[in-house]
Amino acid sequence: MNVSVIGAGIGGLATAARLAAKGYAVTVFEANSYPGGKLSSIQLGNYRFDAGPSLFTLAQLVDEVIALNPNPELIPFSYQKLNTVCNYFYEDGLRLTAHADPNELANELATKTGVDKKTIFNYLQKAALKYESTAELFVEDTIHRIGHLKPNKVWKGLRNIPALDVFKTMHEVNSELLDEPHLVQFFNRYATYNGSNPYKAPGLLTMIPHLEQNLGAFFPEGGMQSITNALYQTCVNLGVTFHFSSKVEQIWIEHKQVKGIVLNGNKMASDLVVSDIDIHALYYQLMPGLKIPKRILKQEKSSSAIIFYWGMQSHFPELDLHNIFFSANYQAEFKHLFDTKTMYDDPTVYVNISSKHKKDDAPINHENWFVMVNAPHNDGSQNWDEFISRTRKNVIQKLNRILNSNIDLLIAEESILEPRSIESKTSSYGGSLYGNSSNGKFSAFLRHKNYSSTYKGLYLCGGSVHPGGGIPLCLNSGKIVANLIEEDYPLT
């Protein structure tokens, strides 16, 4: 049975590997000249940068795919657990270090904010409960087929509903449980992990810190790009065929049955098609004139980003792999992002420096800075050139102020990625990093299914469909799709 996969992002690679391991003949068509989608890398002079996602959690999900190899030991992929998850810098001078060790973290937060250690432990325990109560049901499997809603999974979620905070916002939950402004902002930030607004996103998403602080954050030995390399090599070893620089023009459908794809004007037959592209591009570009899920496509989009890749001619001992410089007014920042669709003049700044762990990513005593600020998705009305210029100035002023430095004099190399270029490179609608946002009580559960109910033989994976965006969820989407295909079209 032949399966065509459109897109070689993380979801597409995971799906392709799992299907090939099950015995399906898989061909992947990728518009870019390289695999990985957002999870790729760039080189600027003597500086290497991971271009997109920089946080690595639930590392075992990558291990699971690599283990499908006939000889998994031949895939050079390893990682280390971080001792320091992230450094946080506040405008009032407070600095917090998120230690990986729970006791060290509790001591740090209690000592510097005055919040009792027990409060910190209780918060993280509740985050763990929320995740463990819902992951099997909502993250690791489809929620759209009755047969998959196993009574034990459903009961596990239902019995803990009072503790899941589904009817409160993240900010409301964090304010009630922590009642300290610095810590509330600290934990509100996790809404950005799926491009959402903590003042609107459901309280259930306060489970996200569990992945990072309880289960751990990791760094791949070869940088984030090595995740893509390992998944791609796994696919190749399993017999998956790849066609790069091959932009699929249309999905070939007759009488609501998938027949294959159209490439360079030619129809190419396949029994099944898996889409690993944004659902807007899928329906509006590859399925013109056919029935579309209007309600899902009209949902509020996630945030995008403006990213500055800076080769820095200096090193900063006070910084680590992950660093956050908070806005003084977090709520105002999110009002700009989601209400007025503009850039705030005091943005929260994320600085990732992979050369802290992978030394050859920058020359000696230099650093490679991946500097990201959240941005609204591109709705066609914004003046992005002006936004970028102003944001660059504001970011440099903020970093200079907090680090007591002259950042602008140290930048040896620079490149910029922003919503327009994100969309052109990844087909993400308006540059939205995670498809639809989760700015509603149940929006996290209203993502597109991993299959089409209208067009037989069409399946969907990746960040714009269930269970959501980010590396772990995209990997889970690949597992879900592969299992659904095996269920629907078992090989004899």
pLDDT 10s per residue in the chain (492 long)? 999 999 999 999 999 999 999 999 999 999 999 999 999 999 999 999 999 999 999 999 999 999 999 888 889 899 999 999 999 999 999 999 999 999 999 999 999 999 999 999 999 999 999 999 988 888 888 888 877 776 666 555 556 677 788 889 999 999 999 999 999 999 999 999 999 999 999 999 999 999 999 999 999 999 999 999 999 999 999 999 999 999 999 999 999 999 999 999 999 999 999 999 999 999 999 999 999 998 899 999 999 999 999 999 999 999 999 999 999 999 999 999 999 999 999 999 999 999 999 999 999 999 999 999 999 999 999 999 999 999 999 999 999 999 999 999 999 999 999 999 999 999 999 999 999 999 987 776 689 999 999 999 999 999 999 999 999 999 999 999 999 999 999 998
Residue 154 pLDDT: 59
Residue 446 pLDDT: 81
Here the tokens at position 315 are 């090193």
469 found inside a domain:
yes
385 found inside a domain:
no
264 found inside a domain:
yes
Residue 215 pLDDT: 96
432 found inside a domain:
no
What residues make up the domain containing 446? 2-39+56-80+221-299+437-488
352 found inside a domain:
no
Look at the chain and report how many structural domains it folds into.
1
179 found inside a domain:
no
107 found inside a domain:
no
481 found inside a domain:
yes
Residue 156 pLDDT: 59
Q: How far apart are CA 471 and CA 191, in angstroms?
A: 15
Residue 25 pLDDT: 98
Residue 374 pLDDT: 98
Look up the pTM and report it. 0.95
What amino acid occupies position 343? Answer: M
Residue 73 pLDDT: 87
Residue 151 pLDDT: 64
Residue 69 pLDDT: 92
Neighbouring residues of 148: CB distance < 8 A, sequence distance ≥ 6? 141, 142
Q: How far apart are CA 392 and CA 417, in angstroms?
A: 12
Instruction: Identify the CATH number of the domain in which residue 33 sits.
Output: 3.50.50.60
**How many residues are listed for the chain in this entry?**
492
Residue 444 pLDDT: 65
